[in-house]
Amino acid sequence: MPADVPGSRSERTEGAARPGGVASAPEGGPSQAVDSVLDALDPDRDRPANVIETHGLGLSFGSKPVLSSIDMQFGRGTITALIGPTGSGKSTFLRSLNRMNDKVVGFRHEGDATLDGRSIWDPGTDLLDLRRRVGMLFQRPNPFPMSIRDNVVAGVRAHRIAKGKQLDVVAEQRLRKVGLWDAVKDRLHDTPFRLSGGQQQLLCLARALAVGPDVLLLDEPTSSLDPISTEYIEAMLAELVPALTLIVVTHNLGQARRVSHRTMFFYDGQLVEQGPTEDLFERPTNLQTERYVMGRFG
Amino acid sequence: MPRARRRAVFTVLFRAGTVLALLLVLSPAVWLLGGVVAKAVPHWQWNVLWTNLRGEDGGLLGPIVGTLVLMAGVLLIAGSVGVLAGIHLAELGRPGRHGGPGGTWLRMASDVLAGFPSIVLGYVGYVALVVGLHWEFSLLPALLVLSVMVVPYIAKATETALRQVPVSYREGAEALGMSMGHSMRKVVLKSAAPGIVTGLLIGLAIAGGETAPLLFTAGFSSTVWTGSLVHSQGFGYLTYLVYQFWSYPVKHANYLSYDAGLILVVMVLLLLVAARVIVARTQRHSEYRGR
């Protein structure tokens, strides 16, 4: 499925004529007019092609550097996989993008990370809104101790996006979106903890989607799930692009290969290699990358 | 002795030990409950609940109202102060250094306070409030002293309960962009509710069951509480009668003593039931229900 949407949004933005550039386009004709109309309808047309960029981003806890000078661009509407052995810094990198590390004792960063061109550490950036726009899914499903329906709308309530009867609509919509509606529609007011692990993770996905994020950070989202749930979630991820941009940390190399457009390989706090997933797996330029993707070390 | 046999003997001894401990806890509780019921029920008359006390005659309306007002007041004052202090200790400041600014001092002060003999606190209340501020024997000094007594328990219970809330709930709330206040109200406190309710329950039971500090601050009077916080020249509460009328050379006074004991026991039982209901309501979606 990812093959159908290779870097679609960013490619389109680059390839399609932008408004203003229409007149100087080499070939005219009706299709171009349609393109320009479609382009004008594109809500992302005035946004940078890359949702998130990091510029020389370095992270450390106390005196211990965890990552150094990462330069990376995440194209809008793409899926990027972060791979590397345990302790390579990929999770730390991921958790920095919605500033989940800020409260860790001794956390420091240098360089910068931007969301739509604006630093996420800018004093004018509203942390709560940043986290609404950059959602997160964790390794272990973590529903809240409230009913299934309240779980889905927990963030919607916090951000006052909807209220009253609208919440039921939002809940149904998001549960349908993740394909959980039929399984839970008769027990919306029950505890979520009797759902299977895979269903709980889908519930958490619905909860994250409900606040309308642009980016979703996924920290090994299937590593605690059975193969069937894993397959289902992978298919779900492919459906979320190009509306969303996904960044997935995974230990599962097959998963990185199946779902992602680009892959970043971390080793020992360095971004060793990154590129289109196909290239990185088939023609790695770095020896460490090659050994890792071949399964020589893990 | 072969190892398997040694283990079997050990298991039997250990089981016997736990059963013995259980009996040691249960028997005084059953004995007390049975004793109070056996002494109070034979001469029980419902009208003690709504009749005024006249000397050693009449009913227990005044003391019942007094004890209920004390409990409500302590719930209000010590409950809010204690829960807020617990939240401060568990949630504020940088992680790894719980309690933020002054946390260490707050915790130490709270522990010292919890170790104070209640009669000393009562005397301090007498000197500072009843005499020092000319409040006389009345509700407010009694409430303040009782509250000072139970705040450490409530704060400790709240802190402990909050620290046991799974990190994954907090992280989930944080990652959704919930403000700290929102995640506190909607996610964290709910999950910590059983521990906090237990703390409040201990506080209320102490408020209902204390005598010593009240002798110094509430004094005693057989009239029903007038609604004034200070200058009320004393008011009634049940524990005083249990203590005072038990050895009185008047039969009706002895009866009232046992009645007061029974009413206190029933109040505490009702509190326990209420606490169970509240806990069940907040935990109906809990991850740990039924374990």
Q: Cα distance from B287 to chain A (closest Cα, Å)?
A: 6
Max Cα-Cα span within chain A: 61
Please report the pLDDT score of residue B2 as a whole number.
85
The DSSP letter of residue B210 is -
- Give contacts of A224 with chain B, Cβ < 8 Å: none
What is the rounded (10 degree) CA torsion for A126, A130, A132, A133?
Answer: 140
Q: Which of A140, A145, A158 shows the shortest C-beta gap to B178?
A: A158
Please report the pLDDT score of residue B52 as a whole number.
87
Please report the pLDDT score of residue B17 as a whole number.
97
Question: What number of CA atoms fall less than 13 Å from residue A183's CA on the CB side?
Answer: 16
- Give contacts of A143 with chain B, Cβ < 8 Å: 172
DSSP per position, B102-153? THHHHHHHHHHHHTS-HHHHHHHHIIIIIIIT---SSHHHHHHHHHHHHHHH
Give backbone dihedrals phi and psi of A145, rounded to 5 degrees, phi first.
-75, 65
Residue B285 structure tokens: 């979606």
- B239-242 contacts: CB < 8 A, separation 24 or more? B239/B67, B239/B208, B239/B209, B239/B210, B239/B211, B239/B214, B239/B264, B240/B63, B240/B211, B240/B214, B240/B215, B241/B60, B241/B63, B242/B211
Strand ordering across the sheet containing A262-267? A134-137, A215-219, A245-249, A79-83, A262-267, A270-276
Nearest CA among A277, A254, A281, A143 for reference residue A202: A143
A20: left (phi over 0), alpha (psi -120 to 50) or beta: left
The DSSP letter of residue B285 is T
Please report the pLDDT score of residue A20 as a whole number.
39
The domain locations on chain B are: 3-41, 49-282
The DSSP letter of residue B50 is T
User: Do the Cβ atoms of A154 and B283 come within 8 Å?
Assistant: no
Q: Tens-digit pLDDT profile for chain A (298 aa)?
A: 444 444 444 444 443 333 433 444 445 556 677 777 777 777 667 778 899 999 999 999 988 889 988 999 999 999 999 999 988 989 999 999 999 998 888 889 999 999 999 999 999 889 999 999 999 999 999 999 999 999 999 999 999 998 889 999 999 999 999 999 999 999 999 999 999 999 999 999 999 999 999 999 999 999 989 999 999 999 999 999 889 999 999 999 999 999 999 999 999 889 999 999 999 999 999 999 999 998 877 6
- Give contacts of B169 with chain A, Cβ < 8 Å: 142, 144-145
Give me the interface pTM, i.e. the ipTM. 0.81
Please report the pLDDT score of residue B182 as a whole number.
92
CATH fold, domain A2-17+43-143+215-293, is: Rossmann fold (3.40.50)
Please report the pLDDT score of residue B244 as a whole number.
86
Please report the pLDDT score of residue A40 as a whole number.
75
3-state helix/strand/coil string of chain A: CHHHCCCHHHHHHHHCCCCCCCCCCCCCCHHHHHHHHHHHHCCCCCCCCEEEEEEEEEEEECCEEEEEEEEEEEECCCEEEEECCCCCCHHHHHHHCCCCCCCCCCEEEEEEEEECCEECCCCCCCHHHHHHHEEEECCCCCCCCCCHHHHHHHHHHHCCCCCCHHHHHHHHHHHHHCCCHHHHHHHCCCCHHHCCHHHHHHHHHHHHHHCCCCEEEEECCCCCCCHHHHHHHHHHHHHHCCCCEEEEECCCHHHHHHHCCEEEEEECCEEEEEEEHHHHHHCCCCHHHHHHHCCCCC
Q: Which of B95, B175, B286 shows the shortest C-beta gap to A145?
A: B286
Instruction: Report the alpha-carbon distance of residue A41 to residue A46 in Å, rounded.
Output: 11
Please report the pLDDT score of residue B101 as a whole number.
64
Q: Tens-digit pLDDT profile for chain B (291 aa)?
A: 788 999 999 999 999 999 999 999 999 999 989 999 999 999 898 988 988 888 888 888 989 999 999 999 999 999 999 999 999 888 876 555 566 667 788 888 888 888 888 899 999 999 999 889 988 888 999 999 999 999 999 999 999 999 999 999 999 999 999 998 999 999 999 899 999 999 999 899 888 888 889 888 888 888 888 888 888 877 888 998 888 888 888 888 999 999 999 999 999 999 999 999 998 888 888 887 644
Residue B51 CB-density burial (10 A; 0-12 exposed, 13-18 middle, 19+ buried):
middle
Nearest CA among B122, B141, B115, B146 for reference residue B130: B141
CATH fold, domain B49-282, is: MetI-like fold (1.10.3720)
Interface probe with A: pick from B170, B171, B285, most Cβ of A within 10 Å: B285
Please report the pLDDT score of residue B287 as a whole number.
81
Please report the pLDDT score of residue A30 as a whole number.
61
The domain locations on chain A are: 2-17+43-143+215-293
User: Do the Cβ atoms of B95 and A138 come within 8 Å?
Assistant: no
Instruction: Report the alpha-carbon distance of residue B161 to residue B134 in Å, rounded.
Output: 40
Residue A119 structure tokens: 């630093």
Q: Which of B94, B182, B286 shows the shortest C-beta gap to A105?
A: B94
Please report the pLDDT score of residue B107 as a whole number.
85
User: Do the Cβ atoms of B168 and A130 come within 8 Å?
Assistant: no
CB atoms within 10 A of CB B227: 8
